[in-house]
């Protein structure tokens, strides 16, 4: 027993899988401590805000503490952020005409482009094959650039008591504020979803709920499968016939179809996360029953079981002490796989719109569903679905890795 | 002949249905007297283990009745079974699969004391009884305590099984090829202990074996089993010195003799005569 435990902890596959899962579980437990509040709070008005740091405009304008910092490339960066791509195209046309090699013009690197432009552009040069319209366009663009580069201060107007505007503070181009000193800053590492919820926070909360669903579904499925398999395999006879009849019935009906039908008949308003987990558990025990039964059938004729009977032990005691330990390793592995398939089943169900009701808790499946419903993939809002896919894959990967590790310990001939 | 402790009439076991039907034991009658050492001899697959399991009540006969202590056996309830198993116990063929590998061997012996109504005894008392039983089979309890079965050799495991019988003191012991998985050197020791245990406890032993020489050496009477049927039975001298069934003759010829060269021709001729 101790030996087996040591072997398990020495199996790199199991330990990697185990640590990954542990990290995920700890994250769901610890993250809410650092970021309190409901994960379903709709903080953003609008859909799919990009990931980033959001700073209150009001607070940054009204803050009294300002620092003057002179950065050489500040102006160019400012221009770059305002330069439209069609302006760049116009500049490129002129520069090519001037004789600059195409490789030297990099439209992505706006600063380099501006440098090149200010060094080479001369209004007086006229190219013969350039139409007046284009020449005028180039001139306008150049004027715009000059305008952008000019240091213009901005005056913030305050409204006076009588409703008229009076000059408030003056903001210069080289004035800075420290983000740490601003009252309202919100980091949204994964932006927001279609409802304007903090994606990261929602996802971590959903991870916890999904793991919970997997655990409940897996525990129910394994428990039913184990109990039926033990009874059917050990008792044999009529009990076996009845249990196998029911099991075969469930095998013929694909469990996912059954799952869909049951979820559908329960109705959206009554489907909490726990209900969904129970339904998943109740429809996925068939496989465990069959394999436990097969193992027990071969165990029940072993002499140690006969000897236990001869020692007058009760049925329950024989099942628990003489049969269960022999299949325990197998049951643990089945349990881990059931957790995994429970999580995936929830995701599938939710993507069909049959998951838990949306208003109470987030789940990984529900988040996928909404991302799809609001066509996040077409809007380029990768942050609304890609982290979810990675997370689901990660759970599945680590649980399966744990299982492979266990398999290698329990069935040594599989070791490579 | 003294009163029979165990007898059977038309005991039959059929496995499977239809085409896959196997008649493992076919209408056998037997009668074992108190204190006797009976051997059941037959080659492997002849149905010996199946008969043993039926006698033990681990398998129910398809047909036929078994009488225990002169009365028809009734072991339908768990309580009746427990009572029955106080009187009849077994040692199985494979010591390596006779133990629950997850339990320390102490628990096997503790169970015996509890079964004989000693569960209320103080721990010291129990340990004393176990130590005595281990001593009987030449094992030191102090060295065995807290060990798992796989830490023992096959011979030690089988000896511990005898210690178990010593503690249980049943009226009847069924020994199903108890020495066939043991190396030849330990075999004699184990047989000797079994016989000693019989003298100590005064029980009837039903000794199942495929080795007719061994049966001749130890038993009072012998039953020869072929394809689920008893083809011959009688005292050991009768059956082995003047066999009437061909099958018995064949079994006798199969035994190699150390003092005489093995007559392959003779073995082969009886086998072909059989075929
Ligand atoms: N549980 C079972 N199911 C079906 N057939 C069995 C079973 N147990 C034993 N048999 C068959 O019964 C016959 C006798 O077996 P067994 O009693 O083990 O013989 P032995 O102990 O003499 O070697 C064999 O042909 C075997 O295949
Ligand atoms: Mg056998």
β partners of residue A197: A42
For B244, which DSSP code?
Answer: -
Residue A162 CB coordination number (10 Å):
6
Interval A322-332 mean pLDDT: 92
Residue from B11, B170, B6, B2 nearest B72 by CA: B6
**pLDDT above 90: residue B8:** yes
pLDDT of A399 reads 96
The nearest CA of chain A is from the CA of B263 a distance in Å of 38
Contact A239, A301 (CB under 8 A): no
Q: Which residues of B touch A1 (CB under 8 A)?
A: 102
Distances (CA, A) of B177 to A194, B68, B91, B187, B229: 75, 22, 8, 11, 18
Q: Find the residue in B nearest to A313 (Cα).
A: B82
> Atom 9, ligand 1: which residue's CA is nearest?
B50
Q: Do B100 and A325 touch (CB under 8 A)?
A: yes
Option in B53, B93, B115 nearest A311 (CB): B115
The boundaries of the domain holding residue B166 are 4-274
Q: How far apart are the first and last CA of chain A?
A: 23
Which of these, B71, B70, B75, lies nearest to B85 by C-alpha position?
B75
Secondary structure of residue A134 in the 3-state scheme: helix
CA nearest B57 in A: which residue? Answer: A310
A223 versus B186: which is more confidently predicted?
A223
- Output the pLDDT for position A414: 56
- For chain A, the average pLDDT equals 89
pLDDT digits (tens, 9 = 90+) for A260-293: 888 888 888 888 899 999 999 999 999 999 999 9
Nearby residues of A359 by Cβ (< 8 Å), 6 or more positions away:
A40
How far, in Å, is the centroid of ligand 2 from the Cα of A320? 27
Q: How many domains does chain B have?
A: 1
For chain B, the farthest-separated pair of C-alpha atoms sits apart, in whole angstroms, at 64
pLDDT tens for each residue of B64-81: 999 999 889 998 898 999
Residue A366 has pLDDT above 90, yes or no: yes
Instruction: Indicate whether B206 pLDDT > 60.
Output: yes
Residues A150-179 have a mean pLDDT of 83
Helix and strand tally (H, E) in chain B? Answer: 12, 10
Looking at residue B1, its pLDDT comes to: 45
Listed range (A63-72, A200-209, A329-338) with the worst mean pLDDT: A63-72
pLDDT digits (tens, 9 = 90+) for A377-394: 898 899 999 999 999 999
- Summarize pLDDT for A15-30 with one digit per residue, the tens: 999 999 999 999 999 9
Q: Where are the beta strands (DSSP E) in B37-100?
A: 37-41, 63-68, 71-72, 88-91
B104 vs A contacts (CB less than 8 Å): none
Instruction: Out of B18, B45, B174, B207, give the residue to mutate to test ligand 1, the one with the largest number of ligand atoms within 8 Å of its CB.
Output: B45
Q: How many other C-beta atoms lie within 10 A of the C-beta of residue B253?
A: 18
Region B113-128 average pLDDT: 89
Which pLDDT score is estimated for B202?
87
Which ligand lies nearest the alpha carbon of B40?
1
CA proximity to A97, closest of A52, A69, A128: A128
Q: Which residues of B fall below an 8 Å CB-CB distance to A?
A: 53, 56, 58, 78, 81-82, 85, 89-90, 92-94, 97-103, 108, 111-112, 115
Quick one: average pLDDT of A171-186? 89
Atom number of ligand 1 nearest to Cα B52: 17
Q: How many interchain CB pairs under 8 A, A with B? A: 49
A306 touches chain B (CB under 8 A): yes
Q: Is the pLDDT of residue A32 over 70?
A: yes
- pLDDT at B271 (0 to 100): 59
> What is the per-residue pLDDT for A150?
67
Q: B263 falls in which pLDDT band (50, 70, 90)?
A: low
Test site for ligand 1: of B16, B19, B40, B49, most ligand atoms within 8 A of the Cβ: B49
Query: Whose alpha carbon is nearest atom 6 of ligand 1?
Result: B15
**pLDDT, mean of residues A100-106:** 83
Pocket of ligand 1 (CB under 6 A): B 15-16, 22, 24, 42, 44-50
Check CB contact under 8 Å for B97 and A313.
no
- What is the DSSP code string of A289-357? HHHHHHHHHHHTTSHHHHHHHHTT--HHHIIIIIIHHHHHHHHHHHHHHHHHHHHHHHHHHHHTT-SS-
Q: How far is the CA of B202 from the centre of ligand 2 (A)?
A: 25
Could you tell me where in chain A the CATH 1.10.3720.10 domains are found? 2-43+194-414
pLDDT range class, residue B267, cuts 50, 70, 90:
low
Contact state of A325 with B56 under an 8 Å Cβ cutoff? no
CA distance, residue A210 to nearest chain B CA (Å): 36
Candidates A241, A311, A327: best to mutate against B (most CBs of B within 10 A) is A311
Which CATH number does A2-43+194-414 carry?
1.10.3720.10
pLDDT above 90 (res A322) = yes
- Give the least confident one: A204-218, A247-261, A313-327: A247-261
pLDDT classification of A131: cutoffs 50, 70, 90: confident
Cα distances (angstroms) measured from residue A348 to each of A260, A356, A413, B135? 10, 12, 35, 65
Q: Which residues pair with B7 in a beta bridge?
A: B31, B67
Q: Nearest-CA residue of chain A relative to B99? A: A304
Does residue B257 have a pLDDT over 80?
A: no
Alpha carbon distance A311, A322 (integer Å): 12
Q: Has residue A113 got a pLDDT over 90? A: no
Binary contact (A307, B53; C-beta < 8 A) = no
Lowest mean pLDDT among A155-169, A336-350, A390-404: A155-169
CATH number where B62 lies: 3.40.50.300
- Cα–Cα dist A218/A282, whole Å: 10
Per-residue pLDDT reduced to its tens digit, A80-95: 777 777 888 888 888 8
Any long-range contacts for A249-253 (C-beta under 8 Å, 24+ apart)? A250/A283, A250/A285, A250/A286, A251/A286, A251/A290
- CB-CB neighbours of B51 under 10 Å: 29
Q: B2 pLDDT exceeds 60?
A: no
Region B124-140: mean pLDDT is 92
């Amino acid at each position: 027993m101790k030996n087996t435990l040591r072997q398990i902890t020495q199996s790199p596959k199991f330990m990697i899988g185990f640590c990954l899962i542990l990290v995920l579980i700890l994250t769901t437990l610890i993250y809410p401590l650092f970021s309190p509040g409901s994960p379903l709070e709709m903080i953003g008005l609008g859909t799919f805000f990009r990931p980033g740091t959001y700073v209150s405009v009001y607070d940054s304008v009204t803050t009294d503490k300002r620092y003057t910092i002179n950065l050489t490339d500040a102006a160019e960066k400012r221009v770059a952020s305002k330069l439209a791509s069609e302006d760049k195209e116009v500049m490129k046309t002129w520069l090519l005409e001037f004789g600059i090699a195409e490789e030297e013009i990099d439209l992505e690197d706006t600063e380099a482009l501006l440098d090149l432009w200010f060094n080479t552009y001369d209004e007086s040069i006229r190219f013969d094959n350039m139409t007046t319209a284009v020449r005028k366009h180039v001139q306008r663009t150049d004027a715009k650039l000059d305008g952008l580069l000019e240091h213009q201060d901005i005056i913030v107007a305050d409204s006076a008591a009588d409703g008229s505007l009076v000059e408030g503070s003056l903001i210069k181009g080289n004035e800075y504020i420290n983000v740490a000193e601003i009252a309202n800053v919100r980091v949204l590492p994964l932006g927001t979803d279609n409802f304007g919820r903090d994606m990261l926070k929602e996802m971590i909360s959903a991870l916890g709920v999904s793991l919970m669903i997997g655990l409940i579904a897996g525990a129910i499925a394994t428990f039913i499968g184990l109990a039926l398999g033990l009874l059917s395999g050990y008792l044999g006879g009529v009990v076996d016939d009845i249990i196998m009849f029911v099991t075969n019935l469930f095998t013929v009906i694909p469990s996912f179809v059954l799952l869909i039908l049951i979820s559908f008949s329960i109705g959206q308003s009554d489907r909490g996360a726990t209900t969904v987990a129970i339904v998943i558990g109740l429809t996925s025990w068939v496989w465990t029953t069959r394999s436990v039964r097969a193992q027990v059938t071969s165990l029940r004729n072993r002499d140690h079981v006969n000897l236990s009977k001869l020692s007058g032990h009760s049925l329950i005691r024989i099942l628990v002490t003489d049969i269960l330990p022999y299949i325990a390793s197998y049951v643990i592995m089945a349990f881990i796989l059931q957790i995994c398939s429970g999580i995936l089943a929830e995701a599938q169900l939710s993507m069909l719109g049959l998951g838990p009701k949306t208003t109470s808790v987030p789940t990984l499946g529900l988040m996928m569903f909404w991302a799809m419903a609001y066509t996040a993939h077409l809007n380029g809002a990768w942050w609304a679905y890609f982290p979810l896919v990675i997370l689901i894959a990660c759970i599945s990967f680590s649980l399966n890795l744990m299982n492979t590790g266990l398999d290698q310990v329990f069935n040594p001939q599989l070791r490579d | 002949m003294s009163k029979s402790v165990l007898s059977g009439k038309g005991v039959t076991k059929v496995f499977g249905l239809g085409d896959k039907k196997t008649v493992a034991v076919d209408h056998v009658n037997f009668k074992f007297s108190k204190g006797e050492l009976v051997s059941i001899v037959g080659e492997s697959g002849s149905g010996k283990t199946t008969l043993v399991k039926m006698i033990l009540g681990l398998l129910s006969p398809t047909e036929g009745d078994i009488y225990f202590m002169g009365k028809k056996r009734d072991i339908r309830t768990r309580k009746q079974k427990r009572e029955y198993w106080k009187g009849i116990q077994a040692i199985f063929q494979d010591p390596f699969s006779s133990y629950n590998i997850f339990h320390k061997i102490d628990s096997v012996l503790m169970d015996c004391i509890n079964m004989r109504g000693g569960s209320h005894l103080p721990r010291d008392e129990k340990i004393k009884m176990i130590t005595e039983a281990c001593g009987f089979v030449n094992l030191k309890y102090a060295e065995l305590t807290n060990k798992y079965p796989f830490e023992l050799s096959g011979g030690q495991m089988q000896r511990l099984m005898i210690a178990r019988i010593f503690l249980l003191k049943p009226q009847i012991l069924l020994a199903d090829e108890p020495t066939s998985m043991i190396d030849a050197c330990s075999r004699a020791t184990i047989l000797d202990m079994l016989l000693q245990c019989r003298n100590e406890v005064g029980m009837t032993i039903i000794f199942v074996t495929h080795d007719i020489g061994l049966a001749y050496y130890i038993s009072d009477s012998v039953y020869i089993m072929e394809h689920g049927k008893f083809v011959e039975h009688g005292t050991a001298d009768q059956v082995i010195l003047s066999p009437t069934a061909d099958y018995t003759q064949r079994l006798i010829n199969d035994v190699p003799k150390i003092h005489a060269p093995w007559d392959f021709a003779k073995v082969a001729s009886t086998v072909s005569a059989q075929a």
